[in-house]
Chain A
């Protein structure tokens, strides 16, 4: 934690220093907004049929980004934004959050096909209607990528995510109640292909190793395997949240339609498979439609 917070402070301080030291340099400002409607096929992350619940949500986000050139092919950026989601049935999953991020990117050469590297750190606060889920998030991202042609581009990424739960309501004495206190390491790969001037297809795969949280009816196997337990407010009194170590593999495909040069409609299908200790496995599907706008 101390190492992470030091890194965050250093990153934000560096970005702020560059911003302050270069007031006359041309700063590039952009604003992003998005609205998403989604269906989550396993919102509980349950393994058994009896535990699986489905729901839909609508979400909105907006952010502003300042980008400073730091060299011929280098830039640093700062962004701040808000986001919120409203679930249709399990309304206690609804949340509102604020996010700040700082990043650096560098192009390793001249031209469209020059590879690039990027690093960023994100800090977020999320406030849920189910207060047990209230948390702060911290994430580091490292990525390298390249455009191979006008149609095809790809990238590889690594991310470390850490979620700090605000509440530690002990349900079982001797076992942590901070079930939403989770961390994980993720490696990912992405390929994008422009089908024509409007349509683009993106495919990605991610492998995450870290903590996962399943919400189920209580039973012995998951009770033994979990290292934190919380009482779920979102799914009813019979449900408990269990934190387990595990791996999650996620594959997703996004078909994006450009409505113009500033907005796009994205249709995403994601499939996630989680394998946790004690052979506990769950699968989930997510379908979403997102309208995004950048100015």
Chain B
């Protein structure tokens, strides 16, 4: 029992030690009108590219539920794969024409046989050739340190190694270039930093909506 307590103490100590060597960044993103913005991707890119070595890509997924991409925005580290399981009873035909990744998953139900590899940084816009209103985004990040804002417009990047970064924000309806949002961040071990952005959004016009009126047959 005593040995177990010692082991637990060592593990806790090691964990505290690791956290003390990293930092946390809390970000808030709001519209120019002060409203919180959901689905904004915040990326911390180290100024020293060598800091990216050793970061590992992951396997992610974007589902299709009720004829929508869920989540609508999925940030991934470059080199990650994304599976597109179709949870609907109808079939989907997922595609992208984006320079960062051109691909097509012809009409399918269930889970496609292969996930899609996203091996180039950039924004990949997803569509469905059957349901034109469906739109989704894979944000392929050059840095492994990123987060996505929730409905409250807040995001947290934990386990940020202490060094200098350029922090940027991207959103699908952003009115302006992502690069223009860059802000410097110099963070020390154990530090808890906070940053805020105010960005202008363009209206989202590709939305699902009921069809417009069916005319007036027979009024001659």
Comparing B33-41, B53-61, B161-169, B199-207, the segment that makes contact with chain A is: B199-207
Hey, what's the 0/1 contact readout for A151-177 against B, CB within 8 Å counting as 1? 100000000010100000000000000
* Interface status of B114 (Cβ within 8 A of chain A): no
Q: Provide the bound-state CA to CA distance between A100 and B104, in Å.
A: 35
Contact status B206-A112, CB under 8 Å:
yes
- Which residues of A lie under 8 Å from residue B219 when comparing CB positions? 40, 272, 284, 286
Q: Provide the bound-state CA to CA distance between A27 and B109, in Å.
A: 12
Contact of A292 among B88, B91, B210, B217 (CB under 8 A): B210
Hey, what's the 0/1 contact readout for A259-295 against B, CB within 8 Å counting as 1? 0011110101010101000000000101010101110
Interface residues of A (CB under 8 A from B): 25-28, 32, 34, 36, 40, 45, 61, 69, 72-73, 75, 107, 110-112, 114, 137, 139, 147, 150-151, 161, 163, 182, 184, 192, 194, 196-197, 200, 202, 208, 210-213, 248, 254, 256, 258, 261-264, 266, 268, 270, 272, 274, 284, 286, 288, 290, 292-294
Max chain B C-beta neighbours (<10 A), residue from A26, A192, A248:
A26
- Ordered by A's residue number, 23 sampled pairs between the chains whose C-beta atoms are within 8 Å are A26-B90, A27-B90, A45-B220, A69-B91, A69-B107, A69-B130, A72-B106, A73-B93, A110-B93, A110-B129, A111-B129, A112-B132, A112-B206, A194-B206, A261-B208, A264-B210, A264-B211, A266-B212, A266-B213, A284-B219, A286-B216, A286-B219, A290-B213
Interface residues of B (CB under 8 A from A): 88-91, 93, 95, 97, 104, 106-107, 109, 127, 129-130, 132-133, 203-214, 216-220
A interface secondary structure, majority: strand
Residue of B nearest to A38 (CB): B216
- Which residues of A lie under 8 Å from residue B90 when comparing CB positions? 26-28
Contact of A36 among B89, B107, B132, B213 (CB under 8 A): B213
Contact status B207-A261, CB under 8 Å:
yes
Q: Provide the bound-state CA to CA distance between A286 and B91, in Å.
A: 40
Residue of A nearest to B131 (CB): A28
- Which residues of A lie under 8 Å from residue B205 when comparing CB positions? 150-151, 194, 196-197
| Given the contacts A72-B106, A202-B212, A248-B220, A26 and B207 also touching, CB distance less than 8 Å | no
- Which residues of B lie under 8 Å from residue A286 when comparing CB positions? 216, 219
Residue of B nearest to A159 (CB): B217
Contact of B203 among A73, A196, A288 (CB under 8 A): A196
Q: Provide the bound-state CA to CA distance between A161 and B217, in Å.
A: 9
Q: Provide the bound-state CA to CA distance between A194 and B205, in Å.
A: 6
Q: Provide the bound-state CA to CA distance between A210 and B220, in Å.
A: 9
Q: Provide the bound-state CA to CA distance between A139 and B104, in Å.
A: 37
- A105 to chain B: closest CB distance in Å? 11
Residue of A nearest to B104 (CB): A110
- B97 to chain A: closest CB distance in Å? 6
Contact status A137-B217, CB under 8 Å:
yes
- Which residues of A lie under 8 Å from residue B129 when comparing CB positions? 72-73, 107, 110-111, 114
Residue of A nearest to B134 (CB): A112
Contact status B212-A254, CB under 8 Å:
yes
- Which residues of A lie under 8 Å from residue B210 when comparing CB positions? 32, 258, 262-264, 292-294
Max chain B C-beta neighbours (<10 A), residue from A112, A150, A163:
A112
| Given the contacts A137-B217, A258-B207, A110 and B107 also touching, CB distance less than 8 Å | no
Residue of A nearest to B86 (CB): A26
| Given the contacts A112-B127, A266-B213, A294-B210, A72 and B220 also touching, CB distance less than 8 Å | no
Contact of B220 among A73, A137, A182, A264 (CB under 8 A): A182
Q: Provide the bound-state CA to CA distance between A179 and B90, in Å.
A: 46
- Which residues of B lie under 8 Å from residue A270 when comparing CB positions? 216
